[in-house]
Structure 1
Amino acid sequence: MQKKNFTEVKEFIFLGFSSFGKHQITLFVVFLTIYILTLAGNIIIVTIIRIDHHLHTPMYFFLSMLASSETVYTLVIVPRMLSSLIFHYQPISLAGCASQMFFFVILATNNCFLLTAMGYDRYVAICKPLRYTVIMSKGMCAQLVCGSFGTGLVMAVLHVTAMFNLPFCGTVVDHFFCDIYPVMKLSCIDTTINEIINYGVSSFVIFVPIGLIFISYVLIISSILKIASAEGRKKTFATCASHLTVVIVHNGCASVAYLKPKSESSVEKDLLLSVTYTIITPLLNPVVYSLRNKEVKDALHRVVGRNIS
């Protein structure tokens, strides 16, 4: 019977923001604007870092990788979500849902560990400046990026394999994309094992990066406090402020979304959290690094000035 139910479910239907009724057009305009700004900001960051040789450093290499990952991350989710706000009936095949979840988990995990690599880069730059170029070689940077993506790949395979071996009875996903819990709710059988897998994976993806970044910043702050001049301390910490801002918001949203008790879960709260980490957080990266980072702004001025000339 379970196998029969599993094979009968060929597609899912997203409810999305149907409960918002006449406000859906307003949401479409708001989300489309944010999405365009996110794409434009991340593309500008990647382009500037690529063409300006002053930014050919490990720190900006990781930033360009993060911007690229965030761009693909939003492409996996946001276009279909925007479409659902205009065309209310939004089915997705079982294979399409599995693919969306697969890439979502890969890229979300990849982003967490890229932020960790950026924290390690700041630690080496501030605490071991004389050995920086030796430690943060091109090979080391490539290994950290590949390790981030590889970790995401393993987590995605684990999640999707466990999830789509479940028999499904329902077809209506009370969400705007194939997120883990909304799809899990459609299963015909007990999902305790899947919930344990989700908590295990989420805890690893959230707490390992947070722990490593915390250790990095304890060592960074201890080094900063040893700097004699107040101006030197301020300048050194300023190089870490943008990264720390993105880390706090990114991991904070993920922690609330995937580690909160089921008793505190509701459709409205889940939608709000999902909008935060799928639409708003990706915009944070280009905004923080373009508005608060002097080197990026200087590089942008150089490129714009060169093109005008």
Structure 2
Amino acid sequence: MRGFNTSSAEGFFLVGFSDWPRLELVFFVFISIFYSLTLFGNTTIIVLSQMDLRLRTPMYFFLCHLSFLDLCYTTSTVPQLLINLRGLDRTISYGRCVAQLLIFLALASTECVLLGVMAFDRYAAVCRPLHYTTIMHPHLCWALATCAWAGGLVNSLVQTSLMMAMPLCGHQLNHFFCEMPIFLKLACEETKRAEAKMFVARVIILVFPAALILGSYAHVARAVMKVKSMAGRRKAFGTCGSHILVVSLFYGSAIYTYLQPTHRYSDNEGKFVALFYTIITPMLNPLIYTLRNKDVKGALWKIFGRDTDSR
């Protein structure tokens, strides 16, 4: 017998971090700082890539997409979290909640695929340098970016439609935004069939790109080991290591949340794990991928009237 969907009429109450009232102000301050850094860093990358011709390369093409994704991705959840932390309004209507879920899943899924594409780009640059411009042709770059966006949207539509078909009982979400595992715990009836379909979609969108990234960087590491210069080898390993660190934070936290059975999912742990892929990695991406890069520093100096090439 199907349960009555009380949430459709009443909306939801987002518990957020109200279980730890003494931490809410600390969270508000730090998350505000992280969000500001995310907005500044990713906006800077997009602006520089459009203004400086030296940054019109496949790598920066994908980085622009990643920066735009991170801007939208964080904005879909963080403002709601900041309002929640100040205790101003912890409620959200059913329609807004579904819209947030759809947008968040689409953007997060797109980022999963895009990071895999970027790893392939780095593999081509390091392991096939003589053929790089032929391999990463502009048409292929646009095709890969389009596939990432389309794949993310399809994954989101599939999972969100499966969720909307389930009757929900209750109107309290023990989270700071509308996320799929919390909805599954509110379901009034058996969710095994829906979860099985979602699991397949999640494996495709999470595990395949993660495997591609690991494979790409394994080939990159092998190519770097052939470099005779110790300084060059150290620099390459430092860059690859920082990339893998951020990717591991993103995929590790996402896999923890989405690939474990619903009955084993812990609401309290899930909230803290979600901070990694909603706030921390979008803030770190500009620092790790670009702001340490010589070309980006040169573009920044050029904008400020000091061209590094003339120094």
Identity of aligned residues (%): 37
Work out whether residues 9 and 171 of structure 1, in 8 Å CA contact, stay in contact via their aligned partners in 2. Answer: no
Mapping for residues 106-121 of structure 1, pairs under 5 Å: 106-121=106-121
> For the residues of structure 1 that align with 2:6 and 2:306, how far apart are their CA atoms?
59
Work out whether residues 289 and 296 of structure 1, in 8 Å CA contact, stay in contact via their aligned partners in 2. Answer: no
Work out whether residues 15 and 174 of structure 1, in 8 Å CA contact, stay in contact via their aligned partners in 2. Answer: yes
Work out whether residues 49 and 60 of structure 1, in 8 Å CA contact, stay in contact via their aligned partners in 2. Answer: yes
Alpha-carbon distance, 1:73 to partner: 0.3
Secondary structure, counterpart of 1:178 in structure 2: coil
- Point out the more displaced range, 190-199 or 107-116: 190-199
> For the residues of structure 1 that align with 2:304 and 2:242, how far apart are their CA atoms?
23
Alpha-carbon distance, 1:217 to partner: 1.9
Equivalent position of 1:270 in the other structure: 270
Equivalent position of 1:50 in the other structure: 50
Work out whether residues 120 and 216 of structure 1, in 8 Å CA contact, stay in contact via their aligned partners in 2. Answer: yes
Change (3 A) 1:259 1:51: same
Alpha-carbon distance, 1:117 to partner: 1.0
- Point out the more displaced range, 288-297 or 106-115: 288-297
In structure 1, list runs of 5 or more residues that go unmatched.
Answer: none
Letter in 2 for 1:62: F
Equivalent position of 2:147 in the other structure: 147
> For the residues of structure 1 that align with 2:210 and 2:131, how far apart are their CA atoms?
25
Secondary structure, counterpart of 1:279 in structure 2: helix
> For the residues of structure 2 that align with 1:280 and 1:8, how far apart are their CA atoms?
32
Change (3 A) 1:275 1:8: closer
Mapping for residues 1-309 of structure 1, pairs under 5 Å: 2=2, 4-5=4-5, 9-238=9-238, 240-262=240-262, 264-305=264-305
> For the residues of structure 1 that align with 2:214 and 2:187, how far apart are their CA atoms?
38
Q: For 1:234-285, what per-residue CA distance to the aligned partner results, in whole angstroms no more than 9, with x for missing partners? A: 4444554443332222111112222235565322211110112111111111
Secondary structure, counterpart of 1:190 in structure 2: coil
Secondary structure, counterpart of 2:82 in structure 1: helix
Q: For 1:184-232, what per-residue CA distance to the aligned partner results, in whole angstroms no more than 9, with x for missing partners? A: 2112111112222332222222210111112222222222233333344
Secondary structure, counterpart of 2:187 in structure 1: coil
- Point out the more displaced range, 249-258 or 134-143: 249-258
Provide the aligned length of Structure 1 versus Structure 2. 307
> For the residues of structure 2 that align with 1:290 and 1:142, how far apart are their CA atoms?
20
In structure 2, list runs of 5 or more residues that go unmatched.
Answer: none
Work out whether residues 3 and 188 of structure 2, in 8 Å CA contact, stay in contact via their aligned partners in 1. Answer: no
> For the residues of structure 1 that align with 2:237 and 2:295, how far apart are their CA atoms?
15
Secondary structure, counterpart of 2:92 in structure 1: strand
Work out whether residues 114 and 145 of structure 1, in 8 Å CA contact, stay in contact via their aligned partners in 2. Answer: yes
> For the residues of structure 2 that align with 1:153 and 1:96, how far apart are their CA atoms?
18
Letter in 2 for 1:2: R
RMSD: 2.1
Alpha-carbon distance, 1:19 to partner: 1.1
Alpha-carbon distance, 1:6 to partner: 5.7
Alpha-carbon distance, 1:8 to partner: 5.5
> For the residues of structure 2 that align with 1:53 and 1:93, how far apart are their CA atoms?
46
